[in-house]
């Protein structure tokens, strides 16, 4: 029998490097997989059902909400986005760790439904690094960048609700901290089979 995998939730400001950390984790660890969200938005060119997203109708999504089939969900403009419980549980039950990159609201919804989920907040080393990273992308106006930074300061008031905070100064170091967190979380006494031990 496999031990249950870990549900790992990664949040943090845009530009903190969450995506890179998640990709590297999956590349290095065969036991970790990325959660696949479902959404009501139209697939973009190249996006595959079941790989990038599960593309569902609005009616199907609302049925999932009603039947408590989502770990968390949100409506962004006119589209729903959510994490299907089924997919996540199936992976966890085979002993796989599932990683989810998600915003604070989603992360806190998950903590409520699945308290053993491990919430990790990723931050850049300084606010000015973040400003620079956002500017380097050349996708946002100065005004948007300022708005984003204000938003980050707001978001940071929630870090105490997370289990861990990782400062992404160097990716290698941040990655090894996340890996250490996973090892530590697998040493929780609640995961230990005491009856099996007492018979051993």
**Tokens 């707001």, residue located:** 154
| 59 touching a second copy, by CB under 8 A | no
37 among annotated binding-site residues: no
Segment 92 to 151, residues that bind a second copy, using CB under 8 A: 120-121, 123, 125-128
Single out the residue of 46, 78, 143, 183 in contact with a second copy (rule: CB under 8 A).
183
15 among annotated binding-site residues: yes
Q: How far is the CB of 153 from a second copy (least distance, A)?
A: 6
Q: How far is the CB of 90 from a second copy (least distance, A)?
A: 27
Q: How far is the CB of 113 from a second copy (least distance, A)?
A: 21
**Tokens 């760790």, residue located:** 97
Stretch in the footprint of a second copy (CB under 8 A) among 14-22, 29-37, 57-65, 164-172: 164-172
| 155 touching a second copy, by CB under 8 A | no
Tokens for 162, please give them.
């997370």
Stretch in the footprint of a second copy (CB under 8 A) among 42-50, 74-82, 107-115, 173-181: 173-181
5 among annotated binding-site residues: no
Q: List Cβ<8 Å contacts ≥24 apart for 150-158.
A: 151/13, 152/13, 152/127, 153/127, 155/13, 155/104, 156/123, 158/104, 158/108
- In sign, the C-alpha dihedral spanning 186, 192, 196, 198 is positive
Single out the residue of 60, 74, 165, 169 in contact with a second copy (rule: CB under 8 A).
165
16 among annotated binding-site residues: yes
- In sign, the C-alpha dihedral spanning 141, 13, 37, 107 is negative
**Closest listed residue to residue 21, CA positions, set 145, 121, 163, 157:** 121
Ramachandran category for residue 123: left, alpha or beta (phi over 0 → left; psi -120 to 50 → alpha): beta
Cα→Cα distances 21→34, 37, 39, 108, Å? 12, 19, 24, 21
| 200 touching a second copy, by CB under 8 A | yes
Q: How far is the CB of 198 from a second copy (least distance, A)?
A: 6
Footprint of a second copy (CB under 8 A): 120-121, 123, 125-128, 153, 156, 159-160, 162-167, 176-177, 179-181, 183-185, 187-190, 192, 194, 197-200
Known binding-site residues for ATP equal 12-19
């Amino acid at each position: 029998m496999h031990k249950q995998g870990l549900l790992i939730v990664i949040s943090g400001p845009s530009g903190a490097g969450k995506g890179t950390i998640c990709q590297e984790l999956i590349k290095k660890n065969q036991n970790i997989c990325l959660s696949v969200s479902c959404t009501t938005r139209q697939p973009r060119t190249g996006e595959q059902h079941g790989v990038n997203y599960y593309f569902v109708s609005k009616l199907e999504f609302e049925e999932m909400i009603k039947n408590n089939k989502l770990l968390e969900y949100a409506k962004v403009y006119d589209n729903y986005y959510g994490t299907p419980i089924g997919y996540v549980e199936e992976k966890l039950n085979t002993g796989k760790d599932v990683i989810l990159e998600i915003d604070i609201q989603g992360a806190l919804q998950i903590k409520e439904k699945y308290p053993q989920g491990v919430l990790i907040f990723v931050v850049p080393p300084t606010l000015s690094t973040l400003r620079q990273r956002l500017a380097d992308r050349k996708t946002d106006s100065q005004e948007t960048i300022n708005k984003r930074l204000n938003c980050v300061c707001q978001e940071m008031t929630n870090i105490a609700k997370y289990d861990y905070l990782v400062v992404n100064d160097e990716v290698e170091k941040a990655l090894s901290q996340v890996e250490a967190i996973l090892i530590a979380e697998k040493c929780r006494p609640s995961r230990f089979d005491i009856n099996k031990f007492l018979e051993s």
